[in-house]
Amino acid sequence: MHFAAQSHVDHSFGNSFVFTEVNILGTHKLLEAAKELGTIKRFIHVSTDEVYGEIAPNLPNASETCILEPTNPYAASKAGAEFVVKSYQRSFNLPTIITRSNNVYGPKQYPEKVIPKFINLLNRRKPCCIHGDGTNTRTFLHVDDVVKAFDHILHYGTISEVYNIGSDFEISIAELANQLIQYFGLSEHTNEYLSFVTDRKFNDRRYAIDSTKLKQLGWQPTINWQQGFKQTIEWYLNNQTYWSDLDPILVAHPIINLKTQI
């Protein structure tokens, strides 16, 4: 299973070359190694729902056959990697499967991602930094359900197929912040804990995928938002020393000098 990637959209606006190197060239090197080895039974490439681009509310959710329309350097690098994966399947009969997942959340997620980032900010009594007006929506899926999906695809997926891994739970970033503020008992001071900052260079309004194909294979998400949300918050509150220094990534637009050698 190929999970390795640079995956933070904000960082891709600051240093897009490293995303191309890691996500496309890195994938290419793994594919070539798998081809040369000749004994790989399944090469599962983990992609993202962001390759579909922005899905307007009046449009149907994206199925696996939809055209890829990435709108940021991160998503473009993941789409590019997918094309290399498909080429190795068709040219060399490499037994590949591609997955495209919604936003994943849960315990131990690095706090550059929105849910742990907001939890850590509020725990420090700092405001949630919301890009733009906060009406952008995201669909979240608990990490345990994603793990079960990968296990299911590993054992029952069909070679050369693409599988969406998605949830029906969609929430705006502003509402996400409000729910966290309420959980922390800070509702009387909500405005103090909402900081609307300059938006990203481009910020997709919405992602939405159709996971019918995977559900027909026998997978279903089992952890609802209320259960997973509470479990995730409690883990971060009980493990505040899990990472040593989070201050550089808890700012509105972190800029990290990403360097790599492949």
Active-site pick, 10, 21, 52, 74 = 74
Active-site pick, 49, 64, 82, 204 = 49
Helix/strand/coil (H, E, C) string of 69-128? CCCCHHHHHHHHHHHHHHHHHHHHCCCEEEEEECEEECCCCCCCCHHHHHHHHHHCCCCE
Residue 93 to residues 23, 96, 152, 204, Cα–Cα distance (Å) = 21, 8, 22, 35
Active-site pick, 10, 21, 50, 64 = 50
Q: Is 156 a catalytic residue?
A: no
Phi, psi at 36, each rounded to 5°: -65, -35
Q: Is 105 a catalytic residue?
A: no
Rounded CA-CA distance 136/138 in Å is 7
What number of other Cβ atoms are within 10 A of residue 234's Cβ? 13
Helix/strand/coil (H, E, C) string of 199-252? CCCCCCCCCCECCHHHHHCCCCCCCCHHHHHHHHHHHHHHCCCCCCCCHHHCCC
The SS3 call for residue 38 is coil
259: which 2 tokens? 């360097």
Tell me which amino acid residue 64 is: E
**Residue whose C-alpha is closest to residue 131's, from 206, 225, 56, 194:** 194
Q: Is 52 a catalytic residue?
A: no
Catalytic residues: 49-50, 74
